[in-house]
Copies of this chain bind each other. A is one copy, B any other.
Amino acid sequence: MSRAVLLRNVRPLGGPATDVAIVDGRFAATASPEADIIDGQGLLMLPGLVEAHTHLDKNLFGMKWYRNEIGPRRIDRIETDRREKKRLGIDPARQSMRQAVATLALGVTAIRTHVDVDTEIGVANVAGVLETREKLAGWVDIQIVAFPQSGMLIRPGTQELMEEALRLGADIVGGIDPASIDRDPVAHLDAVFAMAQSHGKPIDLHLHEPGELGAFCLELIVERTRALGMQGRVMVDHAYCLGMLEAATLDTLAASLADAGVAVMTAGPPGRPAPAVKRLREAGVVVCGGSDGPRGTWEPYGRGDMLQRATMIGQRNGFTRDEDLELALDVCTVQGARALGLAGYGLAEGCVADLVLVDAETAAEAVAAPPPRRVVVKAGRVVARDGETIGIAAP
């Protein structure tokens, strides 16, 4: 399929209707004479949606409904997760393909996924998602975090498996709850940062620690990021603590995160404390969005729709003004791209032509009530129309 396209009559981010040229998969000033012409019908054009945090390896897309009877503690879920992965036959290659293709149809053109590494499954899940990444090269950008879901220090052998995952092709060193899961925040973070240093990889840490405990862990992360010169290469996920602190403490911490270039990922969780997105952005922190685990054993909700996630982030933050809804969208697009370090992201000339067309008057309207995705374009190629992918299918 040609990567020279002329999109007629689209409205970038709700601006005036215009024609948009794409040459060699990138936005261009003038159209190629051989360009395929697409009638944009005056639709709203958004940049490709960025999924900054999910778990491609263990969703249940396309599988029988899983009756969730799991207890309320995080450890109940971790243990169920390890057990059910085997019992249900959750194949990481198949399932990652299913979720990535399904969300591509929803306009998600880039994904960072945490992939379980533990002493039971070893690096099998990483291998499965690597397979999907290869199949989807050119269709969806996929970054893989080697993720010690079951704990790292508390399960000897896990660090070695994470190193193996990095050698296999994982891009990022993961971590999880340095205090509440791994029971030693300093040792956990030292180990994670050491691994990142020795492999030359960025870091992406799950951090559910609440309140002041979470704030302390963030301080430890900031200190190590600065000391090792890893500014711009560290992300912290969920960070519920950033929704639980006194205003002055939060402001101080936000300034540190901004200064150290530590990004924050939020799912806009309706039932949990959540990072105050606007305040963090005003302080200069990069804040991105993720759908975490749609249709899995952890949570049953959703389909990995990152426009719906912008809605949730807006609602969780009490946003009602248009400029704030636009901020929620920014979190799930531009900020996500910054956090993931995506090269050439955006709607400007020269950027990679990843885009979504929807029937909405303004970007705020698209966030307020996400409309169906009419057209999805990845690097200049039409990859989905009206919810169906074209040229690529899930198993």
Where the two chains meet, the residues of A that have a C-beta atom closer than 8 Å to any C-beta of B are 64-65, 67-70, 268-272, 294-295, 298-303, 311-312, 314-323, 325, 360-362, 364-365, 368-369
Decide: A300 near B68, CB < 8 A? Known: A268-B270, A270-B268: no
Q: Check A301–B368 contact: CB distance below 8 A.
A: yes
Q: Check B270–A368 contact: CB distance below 8 A.
A: no
* Bound CA–CA A187/B318 (angstroms): 32
Q: Check A68–B320 contact: CB distance below 8 A.
A: yes
Q: Check A67–B322 contact: CB distance below 8 A.
A: yes
A258 to chain B, nearest CB (A): 24
Q: Check A270–B369 contact: CB distance below 8 A.
A: no
Q: Check B361–A65 contact: CB distance below 8 A.
A: yes
* Bound CA–CA A360/B314 (angstroms): 28
Q: Which residues of B contact A315 (CB under 8 A)?
A: 269-271, 301, 312
Q: Check A272–B318 contact: CB distance below 8 A.
A: yes
Q: Check B316–A271 contact: CB distance below 8 A.
A: yes
A300 to chain B, nearest CB (A): 4
Q: Check B369–A295 contact: CB distance below 8 A.
A: yes
* Bound CA–CA A268/B315 (angstroms): 11
Q: Which residues of B contact A360 (CB under 8 A)?
A: 65
* Bound CA–CA A200/B303 (angstroms): 47
Q: Which residues of B contact A69 (CB under 8 A)?
A: 321-323
Given contacts A65-B361, A271-B319, A294-B369, 8 further A-B contacts (CB under 8 A): A65-B362, A67-B322, A68-B321, A69-B321, A271-B315, A271-B318, A301-B311, A301-B314
* Bound CA–CA A270/B365 (angstroms): 19
Can you list 19 A-B contacts with CB-CB less than 8 angstroms, sorted by A residue number? A65-B360, A65-B361, A65-B362, A65-B364, A65-B365, A67-B322, A69-B323, A268-B270, A270-B270, A270-B316, A271-B315, A271-B318, A271-B319, A294-B369, A295-B369, A298-B320, A300-B364, A300-B369, A302-B369
* Bound CA–CA A317/B362 (angstroms): 31
Q: Check B361–A64 contact: CB distance below 8 A.
A: yes
Q: Check A68–B271 contact: CB distance below 8 A.
A: no
Q: Which residues of B contact A65 (CB under 8 A)?
A: 360-362, 364-365
* Bound CA–CA A318/B274 (angstroms): 13
Q: Which residues of B contact A321 (CB under 8 A)?
A: 68-70
Decide: A68 near B302, CB < 8 A? Known: A270-B316, A315-B271: no
Leading 3 A-B pairs by shortest Cβ distance: A271-B318, A270-B270, A300-B368
A64, A294, A365 — most chain B CB neighbours (10 Å)? A365
* Bound CA–CA A52/B346 (angstroms): 43
A54 to chain B, nearest CB (A): 15
- Chain B residue nearest in CB terms to A14: B65
